[in-house]
Structure 1
Amino acid sequence: MVRETVDGPPGEPPESTTPPADDGDSTAGVERAFAALLAEVVRTERVAVDSHFFADLGADSLVMAHFCARVRKRPDLPPVSMKDVYQHSTVRGLAIAVGGAAPARTAPGVTESTPTAAPPEEAPLAGSTLRYVLCGAAQLLFFLGYSGVVAFATTGGYRWVADGSGASGVYGRAVVFGGAEFLGLCAFPVLAKWLLIGRWTARAFPVWGLTYLRFWIVKVLVHANPVVLFVGSPVYVLYLRALGAKIGRHVTILSRTVPVCTDLLTIGAGTVIRKDAFLLCYRAHAGRIQTGPVTLGRDVFVGERTVLDIDSSMGDGAQLGHTSALPRGTTVPGGQRWHGSPAQPTEVDYVRVPAVRCGTWRRAAFGVVGLAKALLIGVPLVVAGTALLLTRVPVLGGPDDPAPRSVTAGALLLDALVLSLVGFFGFVVVGLAVLGTVPRLLHRLLVPGTAYPLYGFRYSAHRTVARMTNLKFFVWLFGDSSAIVSYLQRGLGYRLSPVEQTGSNFGIGLQHDSPYLSTVGTGTMVADGLSLLNAEVSRTSFSVSRTTIGNHNFLGNYIAYPARGRTGENCLLATKVMVPLDGEVRTGVGLLGSPCFEIPRSVERDSRFDHLRSGDELHRRLAAKNR
């Protein structure tokens, strides 16, 4: 029999000592039903009501998730969550806990949340193959038409730029054409939104119809807008206002996920929204797109990797911690701190950096300088370089080629191969050299733990370090292979030594605020999607600090790990777990959920492949994987 290597949550008395249920046939019936369902899942004839799920029955998280799903399909039984299973690890304890449980009550001092505009659940709409095909065809035509117009204008512009006389002539034309195209790409989504939609209102409409097509066009254009490059700048806030969002003064938005139904978004003055937060103001449900408002008061803080559903709101001074969600209709009262999915009250303060002076003039100057750098340096250099490459390189048969060749399929393929190889390996060599020097120099301007004003020179240096070192090309190139640890440690400055090579210590979705303040202990393995939160942000200031993950940890997918996270060595952090910021340092346990609760660190099943973790077999398999 396979058994857990550790028992249930610490401090929980043995379930076999639980007295028999005394609340009548209701709990007894639930107990019998649970025992029968669990016997089917673990494939045994009978399950004793005081047998421990993990230690006695040999179950694991996947088996118990199957059991929970079976229970949910029975309308005559109370629903069971994985948290219930881990906290009450026998049939009898589980039946007592959920069989006669009263509905959840609102915490003292908290106003109960009720849906503000959530109608009764609607039946799913019947699908239509004809509408599906017609909508897809219309989407394809729009994509081809829009891409064709942009490509035609860009090609003509590149030729015009390349025809400039001398370096000054090429640069001047690059400024004119690059600025015009950049501003056009920024303005067109705003124009399309007001022409196709007007003002967004709270409503529901079926997918694959004309309304959905207009919605889809606006969504694609808004998300593909180059203004997204200005996330974290006042320029981005002005762009959202142009799309209809109601945003107050001195708002800082760091999330690259652009709201779609912007007229339904209200953000009060002084609010901070951290990266990877979702405030889309729409959702897909039951064959419909449902739109609804998201309202944030003044001085609100929204943490990283959060989701705010439609019809949700937060009062003045409220906070929502990282890895949290506000379901539809939820309201966080003013001044309160919530976290979790679904969110619940907490005492943790998520704003940990003191305020400093940061006025309107500083913000305005930062936005103007950012625009000037883009329009006078960044865009012209890209345009001029691309134009010269496409028109002057002999391998492409440009005008400077003394003997232009006839265009054949073989010649085109050869040219493309040569150009791609030169471009790829040239970018790898030059890119690694730049990443190993420029960000390191800029990082020296920042002292960990010191509060700096937003929208200043050091803020710009911090953003440059984060953008350069989070370049996805190299993470995709080296991620999920033996090379990723060398890239992170030697190239970016992570502290990983000594490394226990597994061949996939990190996936391809890794990100951080500062690689030079990121420490991952020896023997730790990361699945994918880890985000190291090295920065703290308030309405006026930011600071950076070291984020440390202990030795011999296992991190599941899509975890946001903050500085001062309260986990130590030998921990299992489950997928999308909310890393705690309070309480004792957790060691030797597993953590699951948001907010998290403790689960067994491992089961004997996990040791079945230990013989592959060392020796010649490990080296042979690593070499094969890398190939």
Structure 2
Amino acid sequence: MVNESTDGPSGGTGENDIPVTGGGESVASLERAFAELLAKVMTRTEPIPADGHFFADLGADSMVMAHFCARVRKRADLPSVSMKDVYQHPTVRSLAAALGADAPVTSAPAPRTAPVPTEAPLPGSTARYVLCGALQLLFFFGYSYVLVLATTRGYQWVSRGSGPLALYGRAVAFGAAEFFGLCAFPIVAKWLLIGRWTAREFPVWGLTYLRFWIVKVLVHANPIVLFVGSPVYVLYLRALGARIGRHVTILSRSVPVCTDLLTVGTGSVIRKDAFLLCYRAHAGRIQTGPVTLGRDVFVGEHTVLDVHTAMGDGAQLGHASALQPGEAVPAGQHWHGSPAQPTEVEYLRVAPARCGTGRRAVFAAAGLARSLLVVLPLTVLVFAVLWAKVPVLGDEGKLSGLELSSATFYLNALVLSLVLFFGFVVVGLAVVFTAPRLMRRAVEPGVVYPLYGFRYATHRSIARLTNVKFFTWLFGDSSYIVHYLQRLGYDLSPVEQTGSNFGSGVQHESPFLSSVGSGTMVADGLSLVNAEFSSTSFTVARTAIGKHNFLGNHIAYPAGGRTGDNCLLATKVMVPLDGEVREGVGLLGSPSFEIPRSVERDSRFDHLRSGDELHRRLAAKNR
């Protein structure tokens, strides 16, 4: 887990950003110190003018100023400078005046519940490092061998069935046995190797770390993750030791590791891409600590809750936000940002619906039945038939009869892999382009539906089918991604082709409610949040991004985002949900603040944006 810096471009000032107090001499000394550091960063021999604008006059950019902020933070005699300070006070004189004069702190970090450790990094040990790596490799090979052996024997047993009913019965039995085995093994391993997780710390690469790593790998590589968003997933976390109340909805696929340290109160909602791992790596140690959520808590998308964090009953944490070690959100309050701070924005934006325990139980049972009686048996039957009938695998899958040194064996293997690969591509594209379109009419925008029913299952099916990572990896970062997204259902208006309009990590809740204006380019990792959830209900709404925008990496863009045309949205920015619609500006940080839309360096490649040179380079990139 990566902890975001409180002083970087995430915006806001951290708890260490305490203004230096004093008179004119303090401000003057700050001016000299800032000017000297900035000159070194920009490798300038002439003095930095005190009234020179960092961007307009001196030609600096955000990367240069981030380097400057880092240099300042290394000086214990200087106040910490954040990127927000730089943009709000874009000259040496105004920056020194703001940080050197008495001024109230505009926003305080969330109250702390525990002290933050500041230990020095542990000295490394090559022997311990190598031994731990060797044991990890040994576990990997051992686990893989047992899994492949069991799967191979199971396929052979299924393929020897006589008649369709016998084949289906054996497929159900084998699929269920392997499924429950894979689900139960991490639970058993956790209780045998760890017992109950407690708040503690231990060095990396030791035997304790090895046990931690084994449990972490097994918990994450588990088929039950496919049931995220279902009560089945909540039951799985409870079996691992998590204390989770009734009617909790968890949509994040990031599985908590130290589950005994996770407490979630009744009626809480945790949106997708939220991280509540209950551990972190710091200074050569693994630190485990509790994450405690009260009743009716809302945790937004792209959030991080570090160790020793808490949220009171009815509290909300907005999208693209973080609680750092020891921070707590008081009951009933709304917070957002990194570091988090109070806000009046309402993030729980869907009315409740009737959704009782019985409805949840039926939905969970139906999901398990579908997997055990339909999905797994069909998968097992396909592979069992291939195992028994395809010549490259030998007579009834007996590898002893194969001539591994024969060129025919490798030719057959190549042909089989090509047929399977391209068959999957063709059939897969046909399914994702047609099935979701048939299902979309079951879920109308703006209508509030109860969770765990037919509409909810349909919505989840649309999201899964249209977010197959294989296809975004296949078409992403190329000219083909826009055509793929349009076929899925995106409204992209007239596309201005850049050869990489969306990167390779775009995702959404519904492609049919996703609009991106002409000329907009996305770096990577865009998540279009066009569904709203409570613990009992959900609704879908259109998410629209304006024209001629540039979006950085890993942005969660919610429905109702208050940005229009010609905006620059920086990496991991929090898209505002209140205030006027921003146009012709840049937004940086969480919570976001305005910066210039562009600087002089952005026009250096304008001659490549059109004409024959653009077409030539696009063709070369696609090849």
Tell me, yes or no, whether TM beats 0.5. yes
- Could you say which residue in structure 1 is the equivalent of 2:27? 27
Q: Does 1:543 align with 2:557?
A: no
Look up the equivalent residue of 2:390 and give its one-letter code: V
Once the two structures are overlaid, the 10-residue window that deviates more, 548-557 or 98-107, is 98-107
Q: Does 1:77 align with 2:78?
A: yes
Look up the equivalent residue of 1:581 and give its one-letter code: L
Task: Kindly indicate whether the alpha-carbon contact (under 8 Å) linking 2:219 and 2:257 is maintained by their aligned counterparts in 1.
Answer: yes
Structure 1 residue 384 displacement after superposition? 1.1
- Could you say which residue in structure 2 is the equivalent of 1:138? 135
- Could you say which residue in structure 1 is the equivalent of 2:100? 99
Q: Does 1:333 align with 2:330?
A: yes
Structure 1 residue 395 displacement after superposition? 4.3
- Deviation by residue 1:483-528 (Cα, 9 ceiling, x = unmatched): 11111102x0100120001100011111100000000000000000
CA–CA separation in structure 2 for the residues paired with 1:76 and 1:624:
53
Flag the 1:166–1:523 CA change in 2: closer, same or farther, 3 A: same
Look up the equivalent residue of 2:174 and give its one-letter code: F
Aligned partner of residue 85 in structure 2, secondary structure? helix
Matches within 5 A, 1:78-477: 78-101=79-102, 104=105, 113-118=110-115, 120-399=117-396, 406-477=403-474
Aligned partner of residue 273 in structure 2, secondary structure? coil
Task: Kindly indicate whether the alpha-carbon contact (under 8 Å) linking 1:175 and 1:375 is maintained by their aligned counterparts in 2.
Answer: yes
Task: Kindly indicate whether the alpha-carbon contact (under 8 Å) linking 2:561 and 2:577 is maintained by their aligned counterparts in 1.
Answer: yes
Task: Kindly indicate whether the alpha-carbon contact (under 8 Å) linking 2:278 and 2:290 is maintained by their aligned counterparts in 1.
Answer: yes
Structure 1 residue 400 displacement after superposition? 10
Task: Kindly indicate whether the alpha-carbon contact (under 8 Å) linking 1:84 and 1:94 is maintained by their aligned counterparts in 2.
Answer: yes
CA–CA separation in structure 1 for the residues paired with 2:306 and 2:105:
21
Structure 1 residue 246 displacement after superposition? 0.2
Aligned partner of residue 524 in structure 2, secondary structure? coil
Flag the 1:431–1:123 CA change in 2: closer, same or farther, 3 A: same
Task: Kindly indicate whether the alpha-carbon contact (under 8 Å) linking 1:351 and 1:537 is maintained by their aligned counterparts in 2.
Answer: yes
CA–CA separation in structure 2 for the residues paired with 1:157 and 1:525:
48
Structure 1 residue 22 displacement after superposition? 8.6
CA–CA separation in structure 2 for the residues paired with 1:60 and 1:390:
59
Say which of 574, 581, 584 aligns to 2:577.
581
Aligned partner of residue 143 in structure 2, secondary structure? helix
CA–CA separation in structure 2 for the residues paired with 1:420 and 1:144:
24
Flag the 1:609–1:178 CA change in 2: closer, same or farther, 3 A: same
CA–CA separation in structure 1 for the residues paired with 2:22 and 2:138:
68
RMSD of the TM alignment (CA)? Answer: 1.5
Task: Kindly indicate whether the alpha-carbon contact (under 8 Å) linking 1:309 and 1:327 is maintained by their aligned counterparts in 2.
Answer: yes
CA–CA separation in structure 1 for the residues paired with 2:288 and 2:157:
44
TM-score, normalization: structure 1? 0.94
CA–CA separation in structure 2 for the residues paired with 1:417 and 1:397:
15
CA–CA separation in structure 2 for the residues paired with 1:592 and 1:113:
21
- Could you say which residue in structure 1 is the equivalent of 2:65? 64
Structure 1 residue 45 displacement after superposition? 1.2
Flag the 1:246–1:399 CA change in 2: closer, same or farther, 3 A: closer
Aligned partner of residue 565 in structure 1, secondary structure? coil
TM-score, normalization: structure 2? 0.94
- Could you say which residue in structure 2 is the equivalent of 1:505? 501
Matches within 5 A, 1:508-519: 508-519=504-515
Task: Kindly indicate whether the alpha-carbon contact (under 8 Å) linking 1:396 and 1:415 is maintained by their aligned counterparts in 2.
Answer: no
Structure 1 residue 553 displacement after superposition? 0.3
Alignment size in residue pairs:
600
Aligned partner of residue 557 in structure 2, secondary structure? strand
CA–CA separation in structure 2 for the residues paired with 1:129 and 1:416:
42
Task: Kindly indicate whether the alpha-carbon contact (under 8 Å) linking 1:258 and 1:280 is maintained by their aligned counterparts in 2.
Answer: yes
- Deviation by residue 1:562-590 (Cα, 9 ceiling, x = unmatched): 00000000000000000000000000000
CA–CA separation in structure 1 for the residues paired with 2:71 and 2:134:
41
Q: Percent identity?
A: 75
- Could you say which residue in structure 2 is the equivalent of 1:14? none
CA–CA separation in structure 2 for the residues paired with 1:400 and 1:547:
51
Look up the equivalent residue of 1:519 and give its one-letter code: S
Say which of 608, 612, 616 aligns to 1:616.
612
Aligned partner of residue 164 in structure 2, secondary structure? helix
CA–CA separation in structure 2 for the residues paired with 1:561 and 1:334:
27
- Could you say which residue in structure 1 is the equivalent of 2:6? none
Look up the equivalent residue of 1:351 and give its one-letter code: L
CA–CA separation in structure 2 for the residues paired with 1:482 and 1:446:
31
Aligned partner of residue 473 in structure 1, secondary structure? helix
CA–CA separation in structure 2 for the residues paired with 1:535 and 1:382:
31
CA–CA separation in structure 1 for the residues paired with 2:293 and 2:316:
10
Task: Kindly indicate whether the alpha-carbon contact (under 8 Å) linking 2:111 and 2:329 is maintained by their aligned counterparts in 1.
Answer: no
- Deviation by residue 1:276-318 (Cα, 9 ceiling, x = unmatched): 0000000000000000000000000000010000000000000
CA–CA separation in structure 2 for the residues paired with 1:149 and 1:22:
69
CA–CA separation in structure 1 for the residues paired with 2:395 and 2:112:
64
Aligned partner of residue 553 in structure 2, secondary structure? coil
Aligned partner of residue 145 in structure 1, secondary structure? helix
The answer for unaligned runs of 5 or more in structure 2 is 1-20
Task: Kindly indicate whether the alpha-carbon contact (under 8 Å) linking 2:359 and 2:453 is maintained by their aligned counterparts in 1.
Answer: yes
Q: Does 1:598 align with 2:594?
A: yes
Aligned partner of residue 527 in structure 1, secondary structure? strand
Structure 1 residue 104 displacement after superposition? 3.7
Q: Does 1:534 align with 2:535?
A: no
